[in-house]
Structure 1
Amino acid sequence: MRELNGRVAVVTGAGSGIGRALAARFAAEGMAVAIADIEAGPLEETRAELAAAGAKVFAEVVDVGDEAAVRAFADRVFDAFGAVHLLCNNAGVFTGGQMWTRPVADFEWTFRVNTWGVLHGVQAFVPRMIEQGTEGHVVNTASVAGLFGAPFSGAYTMSKFATYAATECLAHEFAVSGVKLRASVLCPGGVATGIAAAERNRPAALAAERTPDQDFIDQVIAGAVTGGIAPADVADAVVRAVREERFLILTHDSYRPGLTARAEDLAAGRLPGLPDFESRD
């Protein structure tokens, strides 16, 4: 989908970080933008910034883990703009720790947002995007942790591997069905976002006591995002990928050789090695 001007984009997790940068980048391309986030204050900041820049914007507080809420959001977006051409299922959370010390609640929360949130977005928006008969694109935000397994992040990594797999399946389904939609999976490395503080949005029903292993990996993640690339750089990469119909969007070129090494390790039956997750390249 090369032409973005005059079309409509949807971005979840748009209150901050990559989501806010995506919304701003799409608006700069002349797109109308529908944005959602679970935090009302940051979402309103994004809406105000876009509106001040002259963009057509619709904003709504949405919990992407709630299927009914996402479907209702989709209804209102189509009512507001009449069509959707670019869907970015971007909302995501992180919690870490060893798989044998952290409770099932960690896994329920991360899958609810990172995986079910993507599925809810696809099911709420894609059928009507297909019915439009126009070109369109779906971008699902996974992570390099959706390509490379890592210690101390089982819940997050499992959810992001699932998001990667879902997007690959979706892309193949688009291709064999002959529809005019394409799909990309965004796999960021270190990006300067607030994901290290994602626990602020954890539902009380899924709360869990902290453990030392969780504290350790949280410090690692905080360091990685503090020195990470700007979210605006990620948004630029997404726009290029949509125009080029590229499936995999990496934010750091240093991960590309690791994908080859990973494939070779797997083909030989070896446990794949770990890439430099804190790479700045």
Structure 2
Amino acid sequence: MRELSGKVAVVTGAASGIGRALALRFAAEGMTLMLADVDHGGLARTAALAGRETRVLTQITDVSDAWAVRHLANRCFGELRAVHVLCNNAGVFQGGHMWTRGEEDFAWLLGVNVWGVLHGIREFVPRMIAQDTEGHIVNTVSVAGLFTSPGTGGYAVGKHAALAASLSLAQDLAATGSRLRVTALCPGAVRTRIAESDRSRPAGLPATPTPDEVDSRERAGRAAERGIEPSEVADLAVKAIHEERFLLLTDPRYADRLRAQTETLLTGDVPP
């Protein structure tokens, strides 16, 4: 998809971090934007920044809620008449050992990180196919969809599922001759507030932090502080859209790590 100017982009999780960076980057490309998030204040701030360059619409949306995503899609196609780039970007993090995560934790993690992607695919992709135009779906997966590490099991489960959904979507689109393409965006450490995801946890899903969770959250926060800027991720995402690239790694060293992990798995061992 070479030309973005004049096209329509939808970004979930647009109130901060990578989502905000994607919105600003698309605005600089001359795209019309529909931005969604559960954070009213952050979403308004992103819209104000992006709106200096282009037309921006916003919608408070909990992507774990199928009805909310359907409402978002209905509004997009009703008011903007088309969607050319869909970024299923909303995501949340919670750490801790696999055996200390409760049902409420997995309900939240999988609701946003997996069902958010699935709802986006279900509500937008059929209508994007019907447009019969070039289009692109960017799913923010994370390197946690490729690698696991101690203390991040619940998050990794969801992100591995998001990668599988992205790959399956890409294969289905290719098999049916669709003009749509898919990118699985797999960033590593990025300077975002992902370690503070509890700020958006629904009140109906209470949690009592465990020591292992607190430790994992602190490690994630330190990693984020050392990470790359969200704007760098957005630049890479636009490049991937232009080049119709499926797997997007934000650090070339991840390719070597992925090869090493595959080799270790083939020996029957557990990757470090």
Q: Which residue of 2 aligns with 1:276?
A: none
Q: Which residue of 2 aligns with 1:197?
A: 196
Q: Which residue of 1 aligns with 2:149?
A: 150
Report how far residue 87 of structure 1 moved: 0.3
What pairs with 1:100-119 in structure 2 (closer than 5 Å)?
Answer: 100-119=99-118
* Partner Cα separation in structure 2 for residue 263 and residue 196 of structure 1: 28
Contact 1:58 1:80 in 2 (8 A): no
Matched, 1:54 2:50: no
* Partner Cα separation in structure 1 for residue 47 and residue 239 of structure 2: 24
Q: Please give the per-residue CA displacement for 1:16-38, whole angstroms capped at 9, x wherever unaligned.
A: 00000001001101111110000
**Structure 1 unpaired stretches of 5+:** 274-281
* Partner Cα separation in structure 1 for residue 172 and residue 244 of structure 2: 15
* Partner Cα separation in structure 1 for residue 255 and residue 53 of structure 2: 38
Q: Which residue of 2 aligns with 1:64?
A: 63
Report how far residue 48 of structure 1 moved: 1.0
Write out the 4+ residue segments of structure 1 that deviate beyond 3 Å after TM superposition. none
Backbone CA RMSD of aligned residues: 0.8
* Partner Cα separation in structure 2 for residue 7 and residue 226 of structure 1: 34
* Partner Cα separation in structure 2 for residue 30 and residue 204 of structure 1: 38
**Structure 2 unpaired stretches of 5+:** none
Q: Please give the per-residue CA displacement for 1:214-251, whole angstroms capped at 9, x wherever unaligned.
A: 01101100001111110000000000001101101111
**Residue 47 of structure 2 aligns to which amino acid in structure 1?**
R
SS in 1 for 2:204: helix
Q: Which residue of 1 aligns with 2:134?
A: 135
Contact 2:24 2:50 in 1 (8 A): yes
* Partner Cα separation in structure 1 for residue 100 and residue 17 of structure 2: 30
Report how far residue 102 of structure 1 moved: 2.1
Report how far residue 54 of structure 1 moved: 2.8
Report how far residue 182 of structure 1 moved: 0.6
* Partner Cα separation in structure 1 for residue 154 and residue 105 of structure 2: 6
**Residue 134 of structure 1 aligns to which amino acid in structure 2?**
T
**Residue 133 of structure 1 aligns to which amino acid in structure 2?**
D
Q: Which residue of 2 aligns with 1:168?
A: 167
Q: Please give the per-residue CA displacement for 1:97-142, whole angstroms capped at 9, x wherever unaligned.
A: 0111221211110000000000001111101100000000101011
Taking structure 1 as the reference length, the TM-score comes to: 0.95
* Partner Cα separation in structure 2 for residue 102 and residue 31 of structure 1: 41
Corresponding residue pairs, total? 272
What pairs with 1:1-281 in structure 2 (closer than 5 Å)?
Answer: 1-51=1-51, 53-273=52-272
**Residue 72 of structure 2 aligns to which amino acid in structure 1?**
F
SS in 1 for 2:57: strand
* Partner Cα separation in structure 1 for residue 101 and residue 262 of structure 2: 30
* Partner Cα separation in structure 2 for residue 264 and residue 28 of structure 1: 42
